[in-house]
Amino acid sequence: MTQPQPGPEEQPPPFGGTYGQQQPYGQVPQGPSPYGQGEQGQPYGGVPGYGAGSYGGLASRWARLGALILDNLLLGVVSTVVSLPFIDWDAMMDPNAPMTSNGYIVGNLVSSGISTVLGFFYFWLMHARKGQTLGKMALGIRVVREQDGGAISSGTAAWRYGVQILLAIPCGLGSLLDALWILWDPRKQTLHDKAAHTLVVKVEPGMPDPYAER
């Protein structure tokens, strides 16, 4: 006995089709992002197909440079003030003392050591707590995870600046390459961003703050 064939309205949808209002197979339902859209409507400043969150866009290279200058000026002033009691001023001010004298060497080591330690704690704690240093706050930019735009962990913040310290060891050439990397990187990442899997994005009015609970 021949079975009746289902009518057109009863036919199952072809592979890759939809049932009712469902999305096609293998596709993620689309909806408005709480972070808004980036440049050209793409996440992370117009880089298509990357990350789960969308933002007002990646921080500009000028904003990152401005924030770095402000932070370094602040750290330079604080480091100088903190270093004053530890410097052998008699040796440093003696015009006859050679540049290789213990006074110069010790003075430079103390100053460099204090600057490095202060810089580490400053960038580590500020990024772990708020995703922003004072310079980044002034320029309206923030550090986030590249995977999903969330707040970075304390360990990630420490590793991120630790990579900067390591890159500075070979006569500063690593630091120069680190800074220049954003000139050609499509996500405007430095080498320490890539090592820590972070992005620096714009902070715009109405944008949710992933660090609000900290």
Residue 111: closest CA among 71, 83, 75: 83
Residue 22's pLDDT is 47
Residue 171 phi, psi (nearest 5): 60, 25
Band the pLDDT of 29: cuts 50, 70, 90: very low
Distance CA 51, CA 148 (A): 6
Distance CA 136, CA 142 (A): 6
Band the pLDDT of 171: cuts 50, 70, 90: confident
Give the mean pLDDT of 38-53: 41
Written as one string, the DSSP assignment of 144-193 is EETTTS-PPPHHHHHHHHHHHHHHHTTTTHHHHHHHHGGGT-TT---HHH
Band the pLDDT of 129: cuts 50, 70, 90: very high
Residue 192's pLDDT is 96
Per-residue burial over 36-70, b = 16 or more CB atoms within 10 Å of its CB, e = otherwise:
bebeeebbbbbbeeebebbbbbbbbeebbebbbeb
8 Å CB contact between 181 and 187: no
Give the mean pLDDT of 185-214: 92
8 Å CB contact between 44 and 51: yes
Residue 195's pLDDT is 96
Band the pLDDT of 55: cuts 50, 70, 90: low
Residue 172's pLDDT is 77
Band the pLDDT of 35: cuts 50, 70, 90: very low
Distance CA 35, CA 25 (A): 26
Residue 213's pLDDT is 86
Residue 201: closest CA among 7, 3, 47: 47
8 Å CB contact between 46 and 39: yes
Strand partners, 198: 145
Between 108 and 150, the more confident residue is 150
Band the pLDDT of 100: cuts 50, 70, 90: low
Give the mean pLDDT of 66-81: 94
Between 133 and 31, the more confident residue is 133
Band the pLDDT of 102: cuts 50, 70, 90: low
Distance CA 20, CA 10 (A): 12
Q: Output the six-digit token pair for 190.
A: 């430095």
Say whether pLDDT at 114 is over 50: yes
Spell out the domain ranges in the chain.
54-200
Residue 161's pLDDT is 96
